[in-house]
Structure 1
Amino acid sequence: MDKVWNIKKEGDINIIKHLSVALNVNMVIANLLAQRGITSYAEAQAFFRPKLSDLHDPFLMKDMDKAVERLERAIDNQEKVLIYGDYDVDGTTSVAMMYQFLRSRLKNLDYYIPDRYSEGYGISKTSILYAAEQKITLVIVLDCGIKAIEKIKMAKDLGIDFIICDHHNPDETIPEAYAVLDPKRLDCPYPYKELSGCGVGFKLLQAFSRKNNIPFTELTELLDLVVVSIASDIVPVSGENRVLAHFGLKKLNSSPSIGLKTIMNYSGLNTEEKSVSDIVFKIGPRLNASGRIEHGKKSVAILTATNEQEALLLGDEINSYNEIRKTLDRDITLEALEMIRRDPEHEGKNATVLYNRDWHKGVVGIVASRLTEHFYRPTVVLTESNGLATGSARSIRDFDLYEAIGACSDLLESYGGHMYAAGLTLKIENIYEFSRRFEEIVTKQITNQQQTESIEADAKIYLSEITPKFYRILKQFAPFGPHNMIPVFISENVLDSGTSRPVGKNMEHLKLDLIEPTSNSSQFSAIAFNHAHHFDSINQGLPFDICYSIAENEFRGKTSLQLYIRDIKTKAY
């Protein structure tokens, strides 16, 4: 099915004209800024030139004064303190950041990552009993805990204080911890709501440092961990996150920690400028792999390593977990595709629910994502764990997966997540009925528009508008991510210059040299992955439309602009 190209609504024309004049940029650049909510020279300056002084006062966050007071008391009395975090990248970077900051201030400091398989997500009873046995008096929780009402009560009864640093949506009742830091609390006046879990932890350290006259430079040393959390957790790269990501990338590129440097070397990121995309596709998956295959504690260990030998040993181990993860991912995806191919009713379905008791729990979420991309429909992938069916679900654009799963809650033991991704657990005997009802609910709720894959484009432009100055300004829109995605453009009626050709191992890609008949501009180099099926039409000299982003391509020491084609629409004559 052809993809639909949706062009974003143009910004207010008066704002666009004002920005164009004030910033001395063309109307296309001014419109990109207006689309991102930027309306003045001052806002544009803050966008293009982030400053650490733009960070909000951490004491605006509900309970921050209590959290700082409790941490000060723990340090003054040299209490036994445990740092607790989720096993994903946001959780492990959060724990590593907090541990690095506190280990020179607390003699009795430890960290704890729950086991994905035996303990599951969030604060576990096992961890609370461990803390009690170790005579821990304060636990700092990062990237989870906002819904752990019963667990926090259990800890309180055992005399253990908790400081919760979370960024997920809370329920109506807040856990009775000593302090609960979460900008999404309804009673929290903090002006920016989209921090990562690591970001909330960073705000605690910022507040503690301000209160105790600790130089901010000590905190900037931790920003490489913060940007890895922001990128990997796919939180909006806007507002305060944009500032943290900007300076985090500077740290990651200039002087990363020993552990992150080791991870980057294994990822093949040795020399080039690292971006949010590099974190998402290369650094993050490796840090996630230890929690998926072995234990998330290994990721914290490498992120807090103090010498290269230790980091190299851990890096080698984590890299081997990543190779296992990739093999499992590939093999299970192939098995899942074969299961779907054998299903005679597959073509008529609006959702996919698969179960195989032998699939590895650590990769079913990845497999669900791949199947969703492949068939473009809500997908649930289940395996067996501890006698129950458990797994992950992924959704398509604008379809509320969490709501659809919630409509089947009477069949579930537990579930959680959000609109586009969820986890669920149910009895094995309920799988058939869940599958039937989930399909029924999706069929009733999903629209034709939601079932059509689409690409969001920022604007239509002529190729002749892509000048070195245009791209130089475009680069300054980075770091990219949700709420500030890399700009995507549409150019219509372009032509092949006559030198375009299929490339790739199976000749599945297109290397294009494009011209624009309406202008005297030069050729534009482009690459279109998995679009070789358009070659015959393009080769006939017929005009076609392209949807693309712009990037730099380095070849034999020379750098040039290249269009990265997202989609092609040929025309019938």
Structure 2
Amino acid sequence: MMKKNWILKENKHYNILVSILKNREIENIESYLNPKIEDLNDFTLLKDIDKAVDRIFQALINKEKIMIFGHDDVDGITSVFILYNYLTKLGSQYHYSYIPNREIEGHGMKSGFINKVKEIGINLVITVDGGICCYDKIEALSEMGIDTIITDHHIPPEKLPNAYAIINPKQADCKYPFDMLAGVGVTYALISIMSKKTGIPLSKDDILMTALGTIADRVPLIYDNRIFSKIGLRYLRTSRNKFINFVTYQNSELSTNNLLNLIIKLMNAGRSTDGNHLALEVLFIEDYFKIRALYNKLSYILKEYDIQQRTAFALIDELYQNNNNNIFIHLDDNAIPLPLIGSVASYVNSKYHIPAVILKSNGQIITAEARGPEGFNFVELFNSISDLLIQYGGHKRAAGFSAELKNYEHIRNRMIDFVSNGKYNFCKKDDIVIDYQLDKHAFDMNELININKQMYPFGENNYRPIYLIKNLPMNELYKFPFSQGAFQNIEGEILDIVFTVDEENSRLCIVDCMRSGFSQNSG
């Protein structure tokens, strides 16, 4: 029997790639395949961006002290990096950065940051990849006479902070036509406008860092995000950044995709101390020996995380057997390190196709990371329990919050009630959307590999193509480079096979398979 429901798209064109892109409603195929920076939307359409740039220029002219506040993930780190670098290019000698340690400070601005701002004597705060939910702390900054410019991409709350300027494409009155930028995409827009007004150009590494942050944050890789990612990765192996260059040299045997994933993992492995983030620090270092030492340190942390992650996944699989709700909620004691709760939530969502909230306590405060399937909305969920939360924010399918430990049971019960009201349906987990049905007699592996290379990088809303071959006799399977052992438990002499292409290893990876004559494809 067929395991999943196959949805076969119509072959709209004799050219496989053109047919796939038309079915995916790619309007400008040339721009998709060969994007140019000029194809980006007009950044001046972002609300408050000119106001923000003018305030930054005023600060530079008056030699005011500027603090960049960022989030502690790759999106936030790359955002801080490109903005800090560009301020340096403009001649600033009075700018600083602060990335909080999530394990100690939790989400958003906390008292430690406010104290640091006071200590240095900051005049202007610029947030990157965050800030839209930091109402109280930005109010406190305002009362201290400090202006705040927010650059963010998360869903704004109903009550916006009292900031000097807010640049966020998700604002209801923002005219920018694409609201799914990563945080670093918004930051790139800011320095791009600064570049146009000053004539001081951006670098190839600015677009590379924007690509890294965009891909790492798993935003949809379409439109502007596709342009950032496709163009930025062209410079991965030729980067002038000493750390990126070092990692590339040390791992020269890796494919572009594996090298990209390694860099993202290394940056995620870093943690912050007193506002100084290890992964951000290594991006600024020029000295070879210091870079090597920090690379070794990050690699060691990464190996430790891999071991801890495997243990955590095994624990979650065991706990899930007793889950009777439409949402998986787990408050961990000592088994899962705080930096891994996001990846554990992603694991649950990916494997079991239900919303997952993984929480960790630090004293009397709990921190949560949440991930959900297509169609779920954590922002609505957290809005419904906002009276129990200290702070929350994020996206529909990926979000987080902090709360008091004493409220945990109330939070848990209300989240279960919210998901149980029947509004959300997670039954689509068994649907496989097939991009193209191939003729087994005209199979061309090189063509399929080339298609993947043209469509790369893959990610949200830009998945690897999924193919179907029908009526393939078992005794002809050897003619096709399927992964070893793929058909060990398959019954039937003639098969219909759904698969993707692993372009790096020149293999076909089985997605689903069944005996011919039993499929009920729909288009």
TM-score by length of 2: 0.88
1:329 to 293, 303, 309: 309
Per the alignment, in what secondary structure is the counterpart of residue 177 of structure 1? coil
Q: 1:253 is matched with which residue?
A: 237
- 1:544 maps to 2:495: yes
Per the alignment, in what secondary structure is the counterpart of residue 329 of structure 1? helix
Q: 2:521 is matched with which residue?
A: none
Q: 1: CA distance between counterparts of 2:339 and 2:229?
A: 28
Q: 1:302 is matched with which residue?
A: 282
Q: Is the 8 A contact 1:361 1:385 kept in 2?
A: no
- 1:227 maps to 2:178: no
Q: 1:242 is matched with which residue?
A: 226
- 1:490 maps to 2:443: no
Question: How much has 1:372 moved relative to structure 2?
Answer: 3.3
Per the alignment, in what secondary structure is the counterpart of residue 483 of structure 2? strand
Q: 1: CA distance between counterparts of 2:490 and 2:396?
A: 39
Q: 2:189 is matched with which residue?
A: 203
Higher relative contact order (CA 8 A, sep 6+): 2
Q: 1: CA distance between counterparts of 2:395 and 2:504?
A: 37
Q: Is the 8 A contact 1:113 1:296 kept in 2?
A: yes
Q: 2: CA distance between counterparts of 1:435 and 1:74?
A: 46
How many residue pairs were aligned?
Answer: 515
Alignment of structure 1 residues 76-87 onto 2, 5 Å:
76-87=61-72
Q: Is the 8 A contact 1:292 1:325 kept in 2?
A: no
Q: Is the 8 A contact 1:94 1:143 kept in 2?
A: yes
Q: 1:289 is matched with which residue?
A: 269
The change in CA–CA distance for 1:436 and 1:202 in structure 2 (over 3 A counts) is closer
Alignment of structure 1 residues 368-447 onto 2, 5 Å:
368-404=345-381, 406-407=383-384, 412-428=389-405, 430-432=407-409, 434-436=411-413, 438-445=415-422
Q: 2: CA distance between counterparts of 1:85 and 1:291?
A: 13
Question: How much has 1:373 moved relative to structure 2?
Answer: 3.4
Q: Is the 8 A contact 1:93 1:228 kept in 2?
A: yes
- 1:112 maps to 2:89: no
Give 1 or 2 for the bigger CA radius of gyration: 1
Alignment-mate amino acid for residue 84 of structure 2: Y
Q: Is the 8 A contact 2:154 2:394 kept in 1?
A: no
1:357 to 313, 333, 338: 333
- 1:450 maps to 2:427: yes
Q: 1:97 is matched with which residue?
A: 82
The change in CA–CA distance for 1:162 and 1:407 in structure 2 (over 3 A counts) is closer
Structure 1, gaps ≥5 residues long: 21-25, 499-512, 515-522, 555-560
Q: Is the 8 A contact 2:106 2:402 kept in 1?
A: no
The change in CA–CA distance for 1:187 and 1:350 in structure 2 (over 3 A counts) is closer
Structure 2, gaps ≥5 residues long: 519-523
Q: 2:512 is matched with which residue?
A: 567
Question: How much has 1:547 moved relative to structure 2?
Answer: 1.7
Question: How big is each residue's C-alpha offset from its partner over 1:263-311, in whole Å with a ceiling of 9 and x where there is no partner?
Answer: 4566x4x244413x753x4322221122399987101011222232222
Q: Is the 8 A contact 2:79 2:187 kept in 1?
A: yes
Question: How much has 1:409 moved relative to structure 2?
Answer: 5.1
The change in CA–CA distance for 1:549 and 1:34 in structure 2 (over 3 A counts) is same
Question: How big is each residue's C-alpha offset from its partner over 1:188-229, in whole Å with a ceiling of 9 and x where there is no partner?
Answer: 2122222211111111111111111123xx332322111100
Question: How much has 1:362 moved relative to structure 2?
Answer: 1.9
1:274 to 256, 265, 268: 256
Question: How big is each residue's C-alpha offset from its partner over 1:496-547, in whole Å with a ceiling of 9 and x where there is no partner?
Answer: 347xxxxxxxxxxxxxx44xxxxxxxx210116xx75x41545xx6122222
Q: 2: CA distance between counterparts of 1:212 and 1:525?
A: 54
- 1:141 maps to 2:155: no
Q: 1: CA distance between counterparts of 2:388 and 2:46?
A: 38
Question: How much has 1:175 moved relative to structure 2?
Answer: 2.5
Q: 1:31 is matched with which residue?
A: 19
Alignment-mate amino acid for residue 112 of structure 2: T
Q: 1: CA distance between counterparts of 2:423 and 2:171?
A: 31
Per the alignment, in what secondary structure is the counterpart of residue 480 of structure 1? coil
CA RMSD in angstroms, aligned pairs only: 3.0
The change in CA–CA distance for 1:451 and 1:33 in structure 2 (over 3 A counts) is closer
